[in-house]
Structure formats: structure tokens, C-alpha cells
Chain A
Amino acid sequence: MLKKFKQKLFSKNINRSNKNTENIVELLKAFEVFKDIDNNVAFIQNILTDSEDVVYRELMLWDRKAILIYIDGLVDRNIIENHIIRRLQNFNEESENSILTVTDVKEKILAISNPEIVKNYNEIINGLLTGESLLLIDNEQEALTLNSQGLEKRGVEEPFAEQGLRGPRDGFIEDIDDNVAAIRKRIKDTRLKVQYHTLGQRTQTKVALVYLNDKAPEHVVKEIEKRIQEINVDSIVGSASVEQLIENHKWTVFPQVLASERPDRIATSILDGRVAIMVDGTPYNLIAPGTFAMFFNSSDDYYERSIVTSIIRIIRYMSFLIASTLPGLYVALTAYHPGMLPTTLVLFITGSRVGLPLPSVVEMLLMLFTLEILLEAAIRLPKPISQTVGIVGGLVIGQSAVQAGLVSPLVVIIIGFTAITSFVFPYYTFALTNRALRIFFLIGGAFWGLFGIVIFWILLIIHLASIESFGVRYLEDFFSFKKEKLKDTFLKDGYPSLLGNAEAIKGDKKE
């Protein structure tokens, strides 16, 4: 049986013949370190064929052959040279003792923080691929994996998309260990739990669940854990794929998980009893369950005075209304119910539209379209050019379209205003949501006037109410008339009463 496997394995075609990565894992799990070191090397070489960045460094340990294997580029050469190779060579000079086990090497010789004794090939290969180096010694049926990761990391910088005025300036980086540490640094509590999972057969991405044991509701944590364990995909690239894999509702424009690149934001959410899902390789880490109100709170809110913040919060909610409904409302009011506008305003609008060739719906759609194009162009381009795009697009096109008598100036004003209001939200994801809603309400307003808009709003509210994210309702903060819940939604209460308030996501009593 074993031989058969061996033959198969040594047939050199394993990587090509077995497209299913699952099989390789199963195969690897079946093997343990061989006694003969050459066998081991051959085995590894067969697994990692055509990989010229794998380094096999041969050493003599007293009189025994040893071999250090690592992938160049993933490891810190300094560690390899000074803490592994030099120590081993020095040992040769110093010691006379020839009876040497892997444990001895681990305990007495290496100056590495946490070397691990491994047997299984699955672990070995995984270790190699994540930047650990592997020490094999002849005649030993165990191997050592050594922590030698030395990936180049970006330094801690100010968050790029999520800026604050008074908050801390550090943002997450791409390395999960550093990111978890950033949370640990803020919450020095024994009850802070960090659970690691590895996702993606190919990418082997490290994902951490971070939460406060006593605050996060058990059913929420369990639900998230279950979802993460159920993930069975080839690859995880960044947190967005995790987000999409664990969220409850696929077909909605509303994000059910909040992605933030600010450690302080994640830390406060954890303190509120939410669960952070940190994914290796991205500065955007996730908070679940995400509720509607969360997307209106910026981390700055917690650093400013509560009355001022409350006013700003209310402005944000109003902006949500305006940014989603205003274009539709304009069409509904002018085309269906001009009677509702004050007479002078109606005459003003009429005056601005006299002689325009396009119906106002088409005009509005065209301008919205233009706006989206401008936004896309401005985001993708490097900064200096994007500013030019902004000026050319916004000013020149807008201005000249009005002057040429193609669009009404009022439409330009409204589009500009909605564009600005949609950037009030602290999270870009939610601004995108708003853009989608805008078109939805424009259709409602264009076909059925105010009636359509109200009906669509009711539909939207029902939809929002029906969204459930990890056992917590999306609108959890708004119903049941609970005073505690409102403390951090429309209004922001002062700190003493906010602290220790996990009411917000307690959710349904499922116990």
C-alpha cells in the first residue's frame, strides 16, 4: 500500500497529474519523515519540483549529515546565517558529543524562538511554504521546523482610505501577526481570545478570530466559527473573499461585515462584543456581525464631544436619505407632482428647463452615469492625474453642458450634491451601496412618482429588516424602542454610559 503511494509520489508528475489539491494534502498526511535523509530530500524535491527558489543547504553535524531547507525570499537570511547555521557550526567546534537527537538540537543549540519537532510531511511542507526553514538530520525520524520568516513588510502607516482627525495614526499592515498584535496592544485582557484558522487549499491563508470571551455573544461566535470552518475553497485573497464567503445574504447591496483598516476601530468593536476576523495579507480586517448603524459611525466619533458627534451622526443619516433618494425625488417632484413645490420654485425650475432637449429622467441618468465614470476614473488613476480628471470632468463637463443648454443647471447641482453626500459615510463600501440605491429610487421616481419612491422605501425597509447577519438583525439598533441601543446610533452618548455597552449586538435570545 505504502509502496504504491511512494511510487506514485516519486513518479515526478504528481503536481500535474493531481489537479485536486485535496489529494496532495491527503497524500502528504500519510507520510512521515523517513529515516534516511536522502530519501527525505528526494521526497521534498519531488513535491516541490521546478521550484528553484528552494534552497537545500547541507551541513555536517559532528559526523552526521544534516540538511537545512528553506525557500529563499520567504526567510530572513540573518536568522538563517547567524542563528541557525553559525550555531550549528560552532557546535561542531565546541562539542565532542556525538550522541545528538533532534530534541538536543532544539533545546541546546538553536537560537530560535520556537522551533518545533514535526514528523508529518503535511506540516513540513506547509511550514516551508509559509517561510519556516526545515532542519533534517540523518538517521532521525523527526525534523525541526524553525521560525525564520523574514518577509519584507510595509511599515505601519496612516490608514489610507479611512482617515481620522483625532484618532491614532497607525493602520493595519498586510501581516496578520502584527495586526493581531496591534489589537493585543490595545486590549490587555486574558479574556481576549485569538483563534487561528487556515483557509484556502492553495493559498493557505491564515485567518484569526479575535473576540472577547465574556462579551461576544456565544451564538454569534459559534456561528462565525462554523461559517469559517465550512469554507472550502481553493484560494482566499484578502479579506473580501472571506467576507463574501461567510455573509448571510449574497444578493443585497448592503455589506453585512465591516472592513476597517484602523486598529482602534476594530478594538472598540471587539470591546463592544463583536468578533474581528483578521485575514493575512490585507490591511482590511473584518468586524462581524455588521449592523446598519455601524456604517454610520466613524472612529473619530468616539474622540469628539458627544453633542457635536450626535449632530454629525444625524447629518450622516440625513445624507443617506439625500444621497439615495434625491435624484429620484427630483424627477418625481418635477415630472409628477410640480404642485408640491412652491410656485416660485416651480417657475424657476421651468425656466431652467425651457428648451432643453432631453427629458429630465434621461438627463438625470446621463449625469449619474457621467458621475460614476468620473469617480471610477479618478480612483484608478495616480493622484496628480486624478485631480485633473476631477477638474476636467466636474467643472468643464458640468459647466459646459449647462452652458450648451444640454442639461439643466439644477440637475448638475443635484448630482453634485448627491455625490458629495455619498462621501459623508466613513466607509467606502457603504458609499457604493448608496450609489446602487440611487438608481433604484430613480427608477421608482421616474415611473410612479412619489408613490413609487415611498413604495420602494417600504420595500427597502422590509429588506433591511429581513437581513440577518450572524444571528443578529441588521437593524438591531433601531427596533424595540430600547434606550440603550439608541445611545450609539442616531445619537452618541458620552463615554461613561457607552463603556461596557454590549447591548448593541446582543441579538435574539437564542439560548
Chain B
Amino acid sequence: MKKRSLCKVMLKIVILLFSVLLFGCWDYAEVEDRGYVLGIAIDMAEPLPRGQDDLEEYLSEREIEKMIPQYGEPKFAYTIQVPIVPQARMGPEGGGGDVEEDRTWDLTMTGNNFFEAQRQFATRLEYLPFYEHLQVVVINEEVARQGILPVLDLLLADHEMRRRTRVFITPGDAKSILDVVPRIDDYSSRYLERLPLGASRNSRILHETDLGQVAMSIHTGVDFGLPRVVATEDEIKNAGLALFREDKMIGWLGEVDTIWAKWVRDAVLGGTIVVDSPNEEAEIVVLEVVKANTKVRPRVADHQIIMDIEVDATFNLVEEVRYGKANIFNEDYLEEVEKLAKKRIEEEIKDTVSYVQEEYGADIFHFNVQMRRYEPDVWAKIENEWHDIFPQVMVNVNAETEIRLTGLMK
């Protein structure tokens, strides 16, 4: 009995000693001690056109930004955006900051890859860079044309990164997008991150653009598009898309073509299409998309791959310029508009597909995915030559349109 209790006491002591080792705050970091990186911009390293006045007494910012890599020449310039919280207009104190002052701090560092540059920030930023709130990644066109996999590698692999971070491509300087001082929002990254939410109102916006999607496309070998952004001093415009073949950007697709590319991808959330008015020449009817479903089915006939694109769309008739003239209760009129819409959808889709096929040969419509799903046997044979075959794929579009509701405002 005595022996046992001694044993127990010993055990308890051992457990106590062990438990002391458990205490320690390895991951503890105060919320204000982290530098929340809201946005990352990736540019080419050399030309950094920034209007910095080189003061005599101080080093120019440019010189600080240069980091000598341990090996080779720096290829890219990474910019991270860290919020200056006390300056936020919508902050806890209810608008402490002046409009004049910067609300974000955009630091640039040059380096060969992001991981390297990321660690270099420690030489200039006293906070621990924290990426779990990363909203956007903006990539310069030139960088994208060289391939985004090397620059995004860390972002794709690291667990700290969210799959929801949005990726954008800009023809200009990526940094200038982050430098935008938005009029309403505090931080340009937040502003940019929320822009794609407009996709339910406008199909010029590509909305499925997060890191997860990019990773998936690259992993599964599917071509994809990323949205294009351009910026002024206090505004960003998000419309159109950059085409990617594998991980390299190969060109731009215009805003209107983006609409029709989205139609093919069954990605339309809303927006409008415009058709000619059946009544009068040179007048137009605007239709609001209520529902748009697209089915793409491959068909193989005589060594020719044909894509059957079935579109099923419902519209609201929103406005007709100079309404009152046309009788919108007239069924014939509506039928006429439906037909025009059908024609328009079919033509535009065909146009866009053939444009992409001829100009870029990038399968952003995911025809190959459909091939894999529906024609696995054929796909197994042509899998490796798909980029040669894709431009020759025939497209057969059939649209069903319906106008369900007429917008009456009287």
C-alpha cells in the first residue's frame, strides 16, 4: 500500500515536471505586432518608375528596395501592402486619419522569388508579415508572360495563404494598383478584392479568380483566364481578362469578349446583353440576364471534334429606348426579341471562341475538361496534342432564350 502511494507521488511529480515543459508561447504574437499583408504586387525588377524625389540627406527609397540576392541578379520586385491602422478613416476612433496621409504602407523589395523577398522585408518592417488576410495578388503583365508559377509558388504551397486570395493581372505597374488611394474604402486591396462581387451585375468581370482556382488549373493542366485591372490615382477598373496557356500569359481578351467567354464557361451570374430593337432600326433593347445555363458537350465525328454548346437563358426586358412606342405586351414583339437574343448569343459565342482559337490557342473554355469527362477514350489518345487540336475544334451553338418579365416603369 505504502509503495503504491509513493509510486503515485513520484508519478505526479514526473507529470508536473513534464507539464512545465508544455507551457510556452511559441506561436503567441499580439494582434498589433503582426503586419497584416493585404495585398501583394509583383513587377519586374528593373524599371521601377516611381516619382521619388531624391533628397540629399536621405537614401532614396529606390536604393533601399534593392537587395543583393545571395545568388544571381534580382528578377522580380515584390510589393506588400501593410495597413497603417491608426490612419484608417473607418477605424475604431471613427476617422482619425487625414485624407492627406497614407493609409497603407507599400514596401517594395527585389528578389528572385517571393520567399527570399519576403524575408528581406524583415530588414525594413518591424512587424511579422502575416499573410492570412491576404486579399489580392496583382501581377504585372510582363511577369505573367514569363509564367506565374515561379512567382506564385510560395503563395500556392504555403498553408498561411488562403485559397480565396484573388489574383489580378495588370498591363501597367502592379505596384501602382496597390498605390491607389480609394475614395471610400480604406485600403486599395480591400477595394480591389470586393470588385469581382460585381460579377452578378456585370459579366465583364471575371469572378472566379482566386488562388485556389489558379492552383487547380495549373495542377490539372487546364488553360485559364485571370481578370485584368487598370488603375488611375484613386480608382481601379476590373474588366476583361488575361489569357493563360499553362502558366504563361499569352494575351488579353477584351471586355466584351470576356462576357461571351463567361457564357461558354457557364459562369454568367448576371449582367446584360444588348440586341437590336425589332421595331426600329438603330434602336436597341437591353436585356437583363436572369438565368443563364450553358452545357458544353463534345461530339466526335470523323476525326473532327465538335463542341455542342447549349445555352439556356432567361432575361428581363429592362428598357427599350423610347419605350411607349412598342407594345411590350405584344407577344409577337417579345418573341421577336427572344429570337434576336438567341441569334446574338449564338453569333457572339462563335465569334469569341473562334477568336480565341485562332489568336491564342488557349483553351480557356475548358473544352478539354469536357473531353475528359465525356469522351475519355478519345481524350486518352489526344491528351498530349490538345493544344494543336484545340484550334480546329468546331463549335456548334444552340441557344434557348426566354423573356420572362418585362420591366415596366411608369
Contact = CB atoms under 8 A, between A and B. Distances in A.
In the complex, A touching B (Cβ < 8 A): yes
B190 A359 contact: no
B83 A347 contact: yes
A347 B25 contact: no
Interface in A415-462: 446-447, 449
B24 A447 contact: yes
B85 A351 contact: yes
Interface residues of A, number: 22
A350 B36 contact: yes
B321 to A, nearest CB: 41
A352 B92 contact: yes
Given A335-B29, A338-B31, A347 B91 contact: yes
A360 B85 CA distance: 18
B25 A353 contact: no
A359 B24 CA distance: 15
The interface centre, meaning the residue of B23, B30, B91, B133 with most chain A CB atoms within 10 A of its CB, is B30
B132 A449 contact: no
A339 B31 contact: no
Contacts of A356: 32
B30 A351 contact: no
A409 B92 CA distance: 10
B23 A346 contact: no
Identify whether the interface residues of B are mostly helix, strand, loop, or mixed.
Answer: loop
A352 B25 CA distance: 23
Contacts of A165: none
A134 B32 CA distance: 79
Contacts, number: 67
A409 B94 CA distance: 14
Nearest to B132: A339
A336 B22 CA distance: 16
B283 interface: no
Given A339-B132, A447-B22, A354 B85 contact: yes
Nearest to A348: B92
B92 to A, nearest CB: 4
Nearest to B133: A343
B148 interface: no
Interface in B283-334: none
A298 interface: no
Contacts of A386: none
Contacts of A346: 31, 36, 133
B159 to A, nearest CB: 10
Interface string B16-33: 000000111101111110
A349 interface: yes
B31 A353 contact: yes
Nearest to B190: A343
A282 interface: no
B91 A360 contact: no
Contacts of B92: 348, 351-352, 409
A141 interface: no
B29 A347 contact: no
Contact of A338 (B23, B34, B162): B34
A15 interface: no
A350 B87 CA distance: 12
Contact of B28 (A335, A347, A354, A409): A335
B390 interface: no
A interface, over-half SS? helix
Interface residues of B, number: 27
Contact of B32 (A339, A353, A447): A353
Contacts of A339: 130, 132-133, 160, 162
A360 B130 CA distance: 19
A501 interface: no
B86 interface: yes
A334 interface: yes
Nearest to B186: A347
A353 to B, nearest CB: 4
Nearest to B31: A334
A351 B93 contact: yes
Nearest to B90: A344
A336 B128 CA distance: 13
Contacts of B130: 338-339
B27 A336 contact: yes
B108 interface: no
Interface in B9-56: 22-25, 27-32, 34, 36, 38
Contacts of A343: 36, 38, 133, 135, 190
B156 to A, nearest CB: 17
Contact of A348 (B25, B91, B133, B162): B91
Contacts of B192: none
B88 interface: yes
Contacts of B30: 334-335, 353, 359-360
Contacts of B28: 335-336, 446
Contacts of B83: 347
B71 to A, nearest CB: 32
Most buried by A among B31, B93, B190: B31
Nearest to B130: A338
Interface centre among A349, A351, A360, A449 (most CB of B within 10 A): A351
A336 B130 CA distance: 11
A351 B30 CA distance: 12
Contact of B31 (A360, A409, A446, A449): A360
Given A338-B34, A346-B36, A359-B30, A354 B86 contact: yes
30 contacts: A334-B31, A335-B25, A335-B30, A336-B29, A338-B34, A338-B36, A338-B133, A343-B36, A343-B38, A343-B135, A346-B36, A346-B133, A347-B85, A347-B88, A348-B92, A350-B31, A350-B36, A350-B85, A351-B88, A351-B91, A351-B92, A352-B92, A353-B31, A353-B32, A354-B32, A354-B85, A356-B32, A359-B30, A447-B22, A447-B24
Interface of A: 334-336, 338-339, 343, 346-354, 356, 359-360, 409, 446-447, 449
Q: What 7 A-B pairs come out closest when comparing CB atoms?
A: A339-B132, A334-B31, A351-B85, A351-B92, A353-B32, A351-B91, A352-B92
Interface of B: 22-25, 27-32, 34, 36, 38, 83, 85-86, 88, 91-93, 130, 132-133, 135, 160, 162, 190
Given A349-B31, A360-B30, 16 more contacts: A334-B30, A335-B28, A336-B28, A338-B36, A343-B36, A343-B135, A343-B190, A347-B36, A347-B83, A350-B32, A350-B85, A351-B91, A352-B92, A353-B30, A446-B25, A447-B25
